[in-house]
Amino acid sequence: MPLPPPTAERTRMHTRSVQLDGYKRADGCWDIEARLTDLKHHDYPISSKTIARGEAVHDMWVRVTIDAKMNVLDAVACTDAMPYDGLCDGIHPNYSRLVGLNLFHGFRKAVKDLFGGTHGCSHVTELVMFLPTAALQTFASDVRDNEDSAHKPYQLDKCHALDSHSEAVQRYYPRWYRSQKTG
C-alpha cells in the first residue's frame, strides 16, 4: 500500500538510495555489499565545488565477508563520489576495524564506539548499520525459516509480528509460542 497523497504541491530536492546485496561465496563464507548514493535534483553549490544536478554527492560502498556465525572476517569501504575530494575517503582504511565483530552480538554499539563523531564517515557508518539485517535476509535464502531444530528460529523476537507471544508465532512456529508475557 503506498503512502497517502501529499497534502501540498512539492518539488523533489534530494534522493538517497541504499542498496544491499548478499552473496554466498564458493569458500563457504558470505559477502554483504552495501551502497549509498545521494543525488540532488538541482545544481548544488557547496564550499568545495558545485555538484551538477543528477550527479552523485555521495556514492559510497562497504563490503564485509562473514562466516556462518556472522563473524566479520574482512571489511572494506570505498567512495566514488564525495563532497570533499581526496578528504572524505581518507577514513576508509579504518573500516577494516570491523574485522572480528559479530553482526548479531553488540555490532551496532561497537560501530558507534569505533566510528562515531569524527572517528568515521557519517555516511559510511550509517551504511554499515544496515549490514546485520541484510546478512539475516541473505542467510534466510539458504535456511528454511520454520525448520524444526533445537534452536529457536533466528527471526523470532526480532520484530513486533514475530514476538514469541504473537498470533504469527502461535500459527507458524507453534513450538516456540509462549502464551503469556512475563514481567
Q: Which domains does the chain have, with CATH numbers?
A: 15-142 (3.30.390), 150-183 (no CATH)
In tens digits, what is the pLDDT along the chain, a chain of 183 residues? 899 999 999 999 999 999 999 999 999 999 999 999 999 999 999 999 999 999 999 999 999 999 999 999 999 999 999 999 989 899 999 999 999 999 999 999 999 999 999 999 999 999 999 999 999 899 887 766 665 567 777 778 878 888 999 898 899 888 889 887 665
Cα distances (Å, whole numbers) of residue 83 to 4, 79, 122, 143, 172: 34, 11, 13, 41, 49
Rounded distance between C-alpha atoms, residue 120 and residue 172, angstroms: 42
The answer to whether 62 touches 33, Cβ cutoff 8 Å, is: yes
